[in-house]
């Protein structure tokens, strides 16, 4: 684009709450064939809350919430923050933490009150050799309802299931419908479990789902789509999304997300409204046409 044309587009975009940091990349919008949306914080509000706690015999709910909140105190993950908030809401004092380790894409492993506390997904428990079959039924039910089951083990035994819900943004289904109408193949990409991801995707009209992706693999999945001949836009908000945003032909960050995600993208949606994606694509198509 000529500098003038990009400026015109950029000024109009700013009015719509769209910040453009790379005008050349925005021109890719004309050629896009696929768009990949991160789930947590992009399609969903990104402010999960605890909706249910199921404990194994011998454990009181309050005791588990306090123990897990202590284990998650050092966590920057929204799921960890949700559990810390649940303990705060219940006015629970937190036991002392001796050790904390975040395991990206899996959960946390901590020592609380001298006990080893592991909190996370099924893969975390499987790799630790912990039998969680007692919580299978409740986990499946939560996931099929689009909620995230979080397993808790104390020492080497399954102790609880904490279910967390992160509602989808009110405009998400509308935005997906508009992206489909533009002829784009819409994908959801998430580290969350496949059943939860499928349920959330279905609720907003997304057919293509890539779930249980490790943070380090998100960019690879974008590259796979490019390898199949797609010109790909990626929309994300998290630290984990930064490499995928950089890999995409057009990286779109949610303005309420992490600074690194914004720095890695070409376009930022200031207020996080997903319909801004549609406006950005439409705007760039108009801007490019004007130049010709």
Does residue 18 bind ligand ADP (CB under 6 A)?
no
Min CB(109)–ligand ADP separation in Å: 10
CB of 38 or CB of 266, closer to Mg ion: 38
How far is residue 150's CA from residue 132's CA, in Å, rounded to a whole number?
Answer: 11
Binding string, residues 220-249; x marks residues near Mg ion by CB under 5 A: -----------------xx-----------
CB of 226 to Mg ion, least distance (A): 21
Q: Are 1 and 280 in contact (CB under 8 A)?
A: no
Smallest separation (angstroms) from ligand ADP to the CB of 80: 4
Q: 31 to 50, contacts with ligand ADP by CB under 6 A?
A: 39-40
Closest separation in Å from C-beta 239 to ligand ADP: 9
Q: Which residues of 80-110 are buried (b: 16+ CB within 10 A; e: fewer)?
A: bbbbbbbbeeeebebbebeebebeebbbbbb
Q: Which does 237 bind (CB under 5 to 8 A by kind): Mg ion, ligand ADP, none?
A: Mg ion
192 vs 121: CA distance, rounded Å: 8
Token pair of 6 as six digits:
């990009």
**Residue placing its CB nearer to ligand ADP in the complex, 177 or 194:** 194
Strand 34-38 to 232-236 pairing:
parallel
d(CA 203, CA 187): 13
Q: Does 79 engage in binding with ligand ADP (CB under 6 A)?
A: yes
In degrees rounded to 5, what are phi and psi of residue 277?
-65, -45
Chain-centroid distance, C-alpha 72 = 18
Q: What SS3 state is found at 133?
A: helix
> Considering only residues 28, 55, 121, 247, which one is a binding residue for ligand ADP as defined by CB under 6 A?
121
Please list the active-site residues: 38
Nearer to ligand ADP by C-beta: 153 or 278?
A: 153
Please report, as ranges, the residues that interact with ligand ADP according to CB under 6 A. Answer: 39-40, 72, 75, 77, 79-80, 105-108, 119-121, 148, 150, 190-192, 215, 238, 240
Please report, as ranges, the residues that interact with Mg ion according to CB under 5 A. Answer: 38, 40-41, 237-238
């Amino acid at each position: 684009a000529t500098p003038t044309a990009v400026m015109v587009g950029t000024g109009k975009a700013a009015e719509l709450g769209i910040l453009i940091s790379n005008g050349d990349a925005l021109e890719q919008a004309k050629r896009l064939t696929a768009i990949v949306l991160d789930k947590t914080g992009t399609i969903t509000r990104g402010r999960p809350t605890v909706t249910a706690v199921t404990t194994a015999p011998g454990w009181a709910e309050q005791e588990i919430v306090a123990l897990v909140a202590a284990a998650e105190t050092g966590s920057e993950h929204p799921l960890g923050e949700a559990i810390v908030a649940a303990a705060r809401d219940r006015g629970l004092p937190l036991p002392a933490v001796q050790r904390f380790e975040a395991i990206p894409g899996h959960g946390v492993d901590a020592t609380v009150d001298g006990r080893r506390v592991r909190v996370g997904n099924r893969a975390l428990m499987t790799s630790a050799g912990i039998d969680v079959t007692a919580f299978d039924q409740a986990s499946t039910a939560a996931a099929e309802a689009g909620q995230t089951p979080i397993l808790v083990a104390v020492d080497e035994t399954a102790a609880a299931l904490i279910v967390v819900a992160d509602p989808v943004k009110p405009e998400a289904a509308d935005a997906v419908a508009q992206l489909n109408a533009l002829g784009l193949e819409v994908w959801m990409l998430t580290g969350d479990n496949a059943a939860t991801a499928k349920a959330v995707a279905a609720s907003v009209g997304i057919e293509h789902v890539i779930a249980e992706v490790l943070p380090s693999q998100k960019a690879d999945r974008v590259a796979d789509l490019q390898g199949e001949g797609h010109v790909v836009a990626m929309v994300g908000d998290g630290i984990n999304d930064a490499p995928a945003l950089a890999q995409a032909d057009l990286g779109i960050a949610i303005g309420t997300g992490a600074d690194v995600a914004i720095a890695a993208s070409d376009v930022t949606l200031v207020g996080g409204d997903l319909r801004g994606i549609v406006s950005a694509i439409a705007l760039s198509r108009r801007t490019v046409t004007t130049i010709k």
